Structure 1
Amino acid sequence: MRRLARPFGFTLAEMLVSLAVLALLVVLIAQLMSSATVATTQGGKRMDSDYQVRLIFDRLANDFHQ
């Protein structure tokens, strides 16, 4: 027997493959966001410490000029 028309919709295998690809993308995006958050936090801490060092050197420079 020959099928005259293909039934509409997706097969279970197609749905499972698309779900696996979607899950992989979600995991990759979550990892990227986590890495970006860590980098931002570390950058902020570095900027704060640089600012503190700059303040100390400014005070030392003012003390030596007086």
Structure 2
Amino acid sequence: MPDFILILVAATVFCLAVVLLNALTGLAIGLKVAPADLSENGLLQYGLALVVAHLTWRFAARRVVA
């Protein structure tokens, strides 16, 4: 799998993770189970989405080499 396909997969996973985490955050805020400081599109959501994208990149790159 070429590198540009790995980049596309990681970028897609990042975008989907941001959307999913924002939806979960909005649900948690709506149900009043989230702290007051938590907000949609916050550092927590982007940080977790970056971690998920990085893990996807590592997993896919490892499969290419092996």
TM-score range, shorter chain: 0.3 to 0.5
Structure with a larger share of its residues in helix: 1
TM-score (norm 2): 0.48
